[in-house]
Chain A
Amino acid sequence: MVGKPARPANAIDQTRRMLSLVTYLRERPGARIEDVARAFGITEDELVSDLDVLPMCGTSFRGGDLLDIDTDGERIWWHNPAALGAEAAEPLRLAADEATALLVAARAVATLPGLRESDRQALLRATAKVEAAAGEAAGASSRLSVTFESEGGVFADVDRAISERRRLWIRYYSPARDEVTEREIDPIRLVSVGHTYVEAWCRRSEARRTFRLDRVAEIKILDEPSAPPEIELRDLSEALVQPAAEDPEVVVEVGPGGRWVAEYYPHDSAEELPDGGLRITLRTPDPASLRRLALRLGPDGRIVSPQDLADSARRAAREALAAYDEVVTAYDGLDARLGASHAAGGVQERQYDRQERGL
């Protein structure tokens, strides 16, 4: 199975698991290790370490009445199920955190536009039943919510192509180059981490690529079979885009108004500057793709290196300004002086924006 999050051993998680485990095992003499581990969503090693602890546990306050549970490595045997009274073996009520974790996740998954309708209905029914069973513990779950986003039509086509193992043709927008390119891809899986992505083998670049669904301009399912090479799937807990060590370095200096760059771009370092800004060092396979960032920053930051990138941003800005002299004058006869007085208004506008954004 892919993408199962690895978690450090935790006494609370283990205790809650063992409490459910005794209830479960009581009903199933000779249960197979493999099946129990799967039902509990844990590894066989984790299960075996629980089975090591359980024989040290018991219910009688006089002692000497420990659970006699053991395993031959394949099946689990409980020789004295009566040691646990009916009271202690009942399935336990859900805790507030448990109800919250399960209900918030279920409601979030139900918002995925690409979910099959029958699955969504099943999820909604299950959510209502869990809410009812959790009772008061479900109350706090309204204090947490998650919205996934994905483009419904594109999602459905990708999902279908994956299940029918067919190749896809897409027109895909790349913001780095501000261009839409056509490619054929062999889809592998859909991933929702904030945005929804399809991980695929790209036939144009003969490499693994991740495509954000909201950047797919057009999509078609082809008749050709999809044949992605066997590749190891990445751990999803890592960021989707990981710069490589050999990628060229870019240094950006931002003022206080450009500190958001450090939140949005994975970077190697961000040093505080005396004016409240940051000096950010990051790596990218394609520094030219950061021209957009340099332009966007405007007065709030500048590219320190590489020089090529700084120059290209400056050239682009000058070229853009030249267009204003021509096109805008033609459009409404606006002259440079009028433009300047509007510019003053622009400053006020941005200060207002800052207040709003800085909430």
Chain B
Amino acid sequence: MAIAKAERLMNLALCLLGTRRPLSKRELRESIEAYLEAGSDDSFNRMFERDKDDLRELGLVIETVENLDGEVGYQARRDSNSLPPITLDAEEAAALGLAAKVWQQARLAGAASGALQKLRAAGLPEDVDPYEAHGALEPRIPVHETAFEPLMLACRDRRPVVFEYRKATAARPEPRHVEPWALECWRGHWYLAGFDRDRGAERVFRLSRITGKVRSRGGAFTAEVPDVVTVRETVASWAGETADRSALIRLRSGAGYPLRARATAVRELGDGWDELEIPYGHGLDAWLVEFGPDVVVLDPAELRADVVDRLRAVAKG
């Protein structure tokens, strides 16, 4: 039976961490059973390279040293691999315990638990159940978009990418060449901010509109990454939340609670209708149409015309 990968990785990690001098590939092969069973040199070499990458993914710093005979040796030195001293009290530990549970994405959930386990090994207090300590709260970060993981890695490693992107109102996706800067989750959806090479400017993309695979491109970023990347402000303006004008509407009494909750002024007209002043941002026309005959737009005229247009389209069927 083939030896499990976790066992092989664990042995390689322990060898590299435990040694006081760099070990050659030959020495490592002789001391790890899975490598002895690897068969040909080729398959051993491939396995060894992959395993080193996996251990680096876990945070292990592996140094490569060439000795006088030109032979390469490997070592994970203690000073570059041990956690600096960190002392957390029980409250802090419970708070981190809660945070480590919020990811619903396998890679990040694994990484967050891994971080907590390393802290645990370093003496993090463990008496407190985070759910006990934090009452009834269960925050979750949803990640449903398949583009998330490759983009997260590309942001981390600052690697340019290309993907097919279908704009909100476009029938067909188009390839976009992007230097990815940052990902942000807002209201349960993920967005990417980056430099769009085709348009030569910063753009924000919604991950659920990326179709097909995210592919990495070689080479470095060509545009400077800003110190602060703002995703939420852009998305909020799409959602009509940055209103710079106001609108005047008539609303049937008792209807349209969310409109009332946002209103800056409400006047009862007494005939079964109220008059409301509400912020006028992007997308207000479509929202108002949802209320059908319970809303009448009075002002401004362009908003009224948009709403009437939409109503006509529905009335025609």
Contact = CB atoms under 8 A, between A and B. Distances in A.
Contacts of A222: none
A354 interface: yes
Interface stretch (B62-70, B215-223, B297-305): B297-305
Given A102-B112, A217-B261, A345-B302, A318 B287 contact: no
A286 B36 CA distance: 64
Interface in B206-235: 208-209, 231-232, 234
Interface stretch (A70-78, A187-195, A201-209, A244-252): A187-195
B238 A298 contact: no
Interface string A66-102: 0000000000000000001101101111111111111
B99 A53 contact: no
B314 A96 contact: no
B60 to A, nearest CB: 7
A292 B184 CA distance: 29
Contacts of B188: 193-195
Contacts, number: 470
Nearest to B305: A342
B253 to A, nearest CB: 12
Interface residues of B, number: 148
A323 B293 contact: yes
B96 A20 contact: no
Nearest to B199: A359
A241 interface: no
A310 to B, nearest CB: 7
Contact of B185 (A93, A145, A189, A359): A145
A123 B7 CA distance: 35
A35 B156 CA distance: 35
A174 to B, nearest CB: 9
A100 to B, nearest CB: 7
The A interface, classified by DSSP as helix, strand, loop or mixed, is helix
B59 to A, nearest CB: 3
B15 interface: yes
A347 interface: yes
B139 A108 contact: yes
Interface string A14-28: 111111110110000
Nearest to B54: A12
A102 B80 CA distance: 21
Interface in A205-245: 215, 217, 236-237
Given A263-B208, A298-B309, A299-B310, A93 B115 contact: no
B71 interface: no
Given A18-B6, A105-B99, A257-B169, A180 B156 contact: no
A344 to B, nearest CB: 8
Contacts of A10: 106, 110
Given A105-B102, A356-B282, 9 more contacts: A92-B59, A100-B111, A122-B91, A135-B84, A295-B310, A299-B309, A302-B317, A313-B314, A327-B296
5 contacts: A2-B131, A11-B4, A40-B117, A130-B86, A145-B231
Interface of B: 3-7, 9-11, 13-15, 17-20, 23, 27-28, 30-31, 33, 54-55, 57-61, 78, 80-89, 91-104, 106-123, 126, 129, 131, 133-142, 152, 155-156, 166-172, 181-189, 203-205, 208-209, 231-232, 234, 238, 250, 254-258, 261, 282-283, 285-287, 289-296, 298-299, 301-302, 304-306, 308-315, 317
